[in-house]
Amino acid sequence: MKVLVIHGPNLDLLGKRETDIYGEETIEAINSAMAEAAKEENLEIDCYQSNHEGDIVDKINGTKADGILINPAAYTHTSVAIHDALKAKPVPSVEVHLSNIHAREEFRHKSLIAPVVTGQISGFGKKSYILGIKALSGIMKTAGRE
């Protein structure tokens, strides 16, 4: 089984930007930890990062993956296009966030993505991604996608 992992805008700056909120882990370290977790779950992951909404939509529309793990970052709160792309893709998907978006600024409390994904995990730093991989694995196995 294959999982597409999408990192949204500015996540390429992890470890350098607002480390008090997002931690000191780099995107490479997170991808490496996810790869180990995926291996334990007998999953293959394809990690992708973009700062461009249309590129993320194209990646979702074009994927042949069995599941999608997405941190839409700032697009969580603004992107109807990513919402629609995920809604149109008939695979399980999990939204993840490093920080607890519900404990931050008011505008971050509303996710346009949450209504069209299987579940949301936030606030556990790098572990949000690991929990997301494990959740997707269980969902896909239950759905008979293995």
How many other CB atoms are found less than 10 A from the CB of residue 49?
Answer: 19
For this structure, is 22 an active site residue? yes
From residue 51, alpha-carbon distances to 5, 22, 37, 56, 111 in Å are 14, 17, 25, 8, 18
95 forms bridges with which residues in the sheet? Answer: 70, 120
What residues are paired with 11 via a beta bridge? none
Q: Which of 22, 75, 83, 129 is catalytic?
A: 22
Note the helical H segments in 41-110. 53-62, 80-88
- Please pick, among 7, 83, 97, 129, the residue that the annotation labels catalytic: 97
Task: Tell me how many degrees the CA angle 48-114-74 measures, rounded to the nearest 5.
Answer: 55
**Is residue 52 annotated as a catalytic residue, yes or no?**
no
Q: Give the residue numbers annotated as catalytic, written as ranges.
A: 22, 97
